[in-house]
């Protein structure tokens, strides 16, 4: 199943990041560029770095200038994340391009790659919630709360994985079809963002 394959790569990326646990560490993708695994690994690495950016920027003692620099990094990370989702969807479009779509086929509320994006984020939630549930310096109340939340996240992983595999199966069988709408983010565009346009 594709969801299991993707989740294994997400876990590998998260583990490799936490060996150094540093947002400024170099990125090394172990998979060949032509492989879907390459896109999945890069996608989760972006998510993992951004997860830690979000932790850092919430430090109440952060220097305002450092916070601004970090905000710019988060903006760039969000754009990279969106680009990677579109690349993954392009992979599925190509994979299923010869499928004969049935007349009564329906479209899903989200594309396969956006569902996989949620699975990548979920992998991070599970990793960090498990860390909290196993903290030696935490209270029993904290550990119990986090253990309960972890169980919910694990159930969510099962449901989301099932839904992803069902969606891909439906697309492959022609029962559903997919479209990719490029994300038209206006605030990064020099012409569409009035603040940026006014500074030209």
Find residue 177's DSSP bridge partners: 107
At residue 187, the pLDDT reads 65
Rounded (10°) angle between helices 2-20 and 36-57 = 50
Question: Can you say whether the dihedral through the CA atoms of 187, 36, 158, 53 is positive or negative?
Answer: negative
Owner of token pair 């932790």: 55
Q: Return the structure tokens found at 14.
A: 């998260």
pTM of the model: 0.90
Of 97, 86, 109, residue with least CA distance to 164: 109
- Give pLDDT, residue 196: 67
Q: Over its length of 200 residues, how does the chain's per-residue pLDDT go in tens digits? A: 999 999 999 999 999 999 999 999 999 999 999 899 999 999 999 999 999 999 999 999 999 999 999 999 999 999 999 999 999 999 999 999 999 999 999 999 999 999 999 999 999 999 999 999 999 999 999 999 999 999 999 999 999 999 999 999 999 999 999 988 776 666 666 776 776 666 76
CA-to-CA distance for 192 and 200, rounded, in angstroms?
Answer: 12
| Cβ atoms < 10 Å from Cβ of 79 | 14
Q: Where are the alpha helices (DSSP H) in 58-193?
A: 64-95, 112-133, 140-173
Q: What is the pLDDT of residue 88?
A: 96
What pLDDT score does 180 carry?
82
* pLDDT attached to residue 183: 67
């Amino acid at each position: 199943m594709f969801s299991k394959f993707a989740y294994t790569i997400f876990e590998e990326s998260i583990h490799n990041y936490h060996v150094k646990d540093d947002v400024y560490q170099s990125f090394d993708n172990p998979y060949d560029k032509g492989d879907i695994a390459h896109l999945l690994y890069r996608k989760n690495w972006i998510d993992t770095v951004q997860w830690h950016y979000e932790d850092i920027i919430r430090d109440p003692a952060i220097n305002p200038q450092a916070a601004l620099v970090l905000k710019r990094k988060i903006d760039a990370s969000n754009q990279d994340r969106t680009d990677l989702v579109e690349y993954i969807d392009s992979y599925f479009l190509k994979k299923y391009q010869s499928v004969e779509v049935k007349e009564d086929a329906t479209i899903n509320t989200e594309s396969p790659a956006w569902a996989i994006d949620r699975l990548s984020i979920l992998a991070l939630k599970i990793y960090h919630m498990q860390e909290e549930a196993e903290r030696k310096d935490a209270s029993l109340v904290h550990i119990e709360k986090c253990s309960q939340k972890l169980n919910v996240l694990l159930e969510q992983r099962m449901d989301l994985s099932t839904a992803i595999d069902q969606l891909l199966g439906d697309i492959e069988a022609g029962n559903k079809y997919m479209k990719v709408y490029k994300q038209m983010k206006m605030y990064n565009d020099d012409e569409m963002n009035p603040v940026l346009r006014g500074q030209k």
